[in-house]
Each structure stands twice: as structure tokens, then as C-alpha cells.
Amino acid sequence: MSRRGAARARASLAFAGALRGLAASPVTSTVATATIALCLLLAAAFALLLGNMERVLERFGEEVHVSAYLADGLAAAEQERLAEGVGALPGVESVTLVTKEAALERFRASPFGRAALVEGLDDNPLPASLEVVLAPEARSRDGVEALVAALRGVPGIAELGYGHEWVEGYARAVSVVRGLALAIGTVLALATLLIVANTIRLSIYARRDELEILQLVGAGRAFVATPFLLEGVLEGALGGLAALAALAAGFRAARALLGGGLELLLGYVEPSFFGVGGALALVAAGAALGLVGSAAAMTMLRVARP
């Protein structure tokens, strides 16, 4: 038999052994698979939340702009000149002048029914403003701060708005969620490893007679251990698939239940599920958990000395 043929035969034997192991102890195998699924479900839910929260930050980065509110009483020509001057500042991509009238129109057209608030007013209380869009290389916290510092010294600009507090608070929340996910994920992974290792140990114990016989007819450690390692990998991969299915169902249900509220929570970023890479990573993480748990259990195997 060729070397490749022999390797294929060994792989096929190991796979058959793993399937036999799963079938021989369905309860313990199911417990291990469910544990891995639960662990991955929680970790993946955090990852999904994090991914969507980070997209909000990314979007803010892409759309970052500074609003410079102009002092009342500036003539249109002065406003134009001011806009040109600001447009020449470093880190500025474009400047749009929003006149008092245009600001009022926008306010009326906003989606929160604010039109009634300004219906009875004699004067337009909204100031004219310059909407300053940052150049791509300046779209960072430092870039925003440098531009704001430059604008503060410009005569005719009364006030600046750039939503930094909201962004910084959101970034802090993302950071907390990331830390939580890491801590919870670590604890869950360790607990899962222990459970998988003990499940495989039970499986080894249930089949100790068979293992003893295999060793007595000359089976090496790899021959005996590989089916158990594969058993762990299969349990893990199945757990990963189950977690993926449960998370997808939960995600769909949350979208249906919360509707536009979810988009509002995410700052008008449409929530998105894992792509193919993410889904594969989840299944691979399950397989890896199963493999490490099985490997830990392999310390039970000794050369049979009946």
C-alpha cells in the first residue's frame, strides 16, 4: 500500500473510531457538545455586539465633521470669506456654509416632528454655520482636536460642535464590552475545557477494555489517541454549529422584535451578522476547544499492563 493510501486508511479508521465513540456514549457526548455550544453562544453574542458597536465608531470616523456656528449679524459676504478661510486650514477636506434659513429648513424637515416647535416664532433662532469635513488623514481624535483648536481663534465663529463627548463615551463603552467579553470568554473557555476533558475521560473509561486490547495487539499511542482527539474535535465543531444556529435565530428574533430600535441603538448603523469568515471561525473555535479538551484527557492513556 502506498504511503498516501496508508495515511488515508489510518484517517478512515480514526474517524470511524471517533464516530463509534460518539455513538457509544450519546449522553456524555451530548453534554459536551451542549456545553461547548453554550460557551460559544455567549462568547459569540459578545463578539457580535462588539462588532456592531465598533462599526458605529468606524462610521463616525468616516463621517466626522465639525460644526462651526457663526456669530449673529455677519453679512453673507463675510460668511463666504470665513468659509474660504476655514477651507484653507490644514486637515480640512471641505466646508459647507449653512445659512440661517437653510438651518431652519433642515430643522423643520428633521424626522422627529420638530416643525411645530418653530411654527410660532417671529425670528429664526438658528445660527448660520460652517460644516467642516475633515480630510481622511485628519479623521482621528487628535485631528479633530487640532482643527477645533485652530477654529477657536477664528473671529466670527461663536461656538463649535463636534460631538466628541458622545463618541468618547461610546468608545469607552466599546472598550468595557470588549474587556467583559474577554474575561467572560476566558472563564467560559476554561470551564468548557474542563468539561470536555472530563467527558472524554468518561469515554476513555467506558472503553478501557477496548483500549487495553488495542494496546495488547500493538497499537501505538497515536493509533489509540487519534479517535479520541477526533471525537473532541467533532463534539467541538458540532457545538460551534449549534451556537451559530442559535445565535442566528436570536439575531433574527431580536431584529424582528426591536425593529428600528436596534438601528437607533447602533446609531443608525444597520446591524449585521457574522460573515462566512466569522461563522467558520466560530465552528473552528469549537473544534479547537474540543481538541484541547481531548488532549488534556489523553494523559489517562498508558501502555496496558494487565
Partner 1 sequence: MSRRGPEPTPSGSGGLVRLYHVSKAYQAGSWALRDVSLELEKGELAFVTGPSGAGKSTLMRLMFAAERPSEGQILVLGRNLGRLGPPGVAKLRRRIGVVFQDFKLLHRRTVEDNVGVALDVVGVAGPERKARVFAMLKRVGLQHRRHQHPLSLSGGEQQRLALARALVNDPELLVADEPTGNLDPELTAEIMELIASAAARGTAVFVATHDHALVERWGKRRLRLEGGRLVEDVRLGRP
Task: Tell me which residues touch partner 1 (CB under 8 A).
Answer: 1, 5-6, 9-10, 12-13, 20, 24, 209-210, 212-221, 223, 302-306
Taking the complex as a whole, the smallest distance from the CB of residue 303 to partner 1 amounts, in Å, to 4
Taking the complex as a whole, the smallest distance from the CB of residue 6 to partner 1 amounts, in Å, to 5
Q: CA-CA distance, 125 to 123, in Å (whole number)?
A: 6
Please, which residue, 136 or 220, has the CB nearer to partner 1?
220
Q: Is the dihedral of CA 139, 141, 144, 147 positive or negative?
A: negative
Taking the complex as a whole, the smallest distance from the CB of residue 305 to partner 1 amounts, in Å, to 5
Taking the complex as a whole, the smallest distance from the CB of residue 193 to partner 1 amounts, in Å, to 26
What values do phi and psi take at 98, rounded to 5?
A: -110, 110
DSSP at 270? P
Please, which residue, 90 or 220, has the CB nearer to partner 1?
220
Q: Is the dihedral of CA 143, 144, 145, 146 positive or negative?
A: positive
Burial of 216-238, coded b for 16+ CB within 10 Å and e otherwise, reads: eeeeeeeebbbbbbbbbbbbbbb
Please, which residue, 206 or 280, has the CB nearer to partner 1?
206
Instruction: Please name which of 260, 280, 278, 279 lies closest in space to residue 270, comparing C-alpha atoms.
Output: 260
Q: CA-CA distance, 103 to 245, in Å (whole number)?
A: 48
Instruction: Please name which of 72, 71, 55 lies closest in space to residue 63, comparing C-alpha atoms.
Output: 55
Please, which residue, 79 or 226, has the CB nearer to partner 1?
226
Taking the complex as a whole, the smallest distance from the CB of residue 212 to partner 1 amounts, in Å, to 7
Radius of gyration of the chain (CA): 31
Please, which residue, 1 or 75, has the CB nearer to partner 1?
1
What values do phi and psi take at 66, rounded to 5?
A: -120, 135
Please, which residue, 81 or 221, has the CB nearer to partner 1?
221
Q: CA-CA distance, 282 to 288, in Å (whole number)?
A: 10
Taking the complex as a whole, the smallest distance from the CB of residue 208 to partner 1 amounts, in Å, to 12
Taking the complex as a whole, the smallest distance from the CB of residue 9 to partner 1 amounts, in Å, to 3
Taking the complex as a whole, the smallest distance from the CB of residue 219 to partner 1 amounts, in Å, to 4
Q: CA-CA distance, 132 to 185, in Å (whole number)?
A: 42
Q: Are 36 and 236 in contact (CB under 8 A)?
A: yes
> Dmax over Cα atoms in the chain, in whole Å?
101
Please, which residue, 121 or 303, has the CB nearer to partner 1?
303
Please, which residue, 13 or 187, has the CB nearer to partner 1?
13
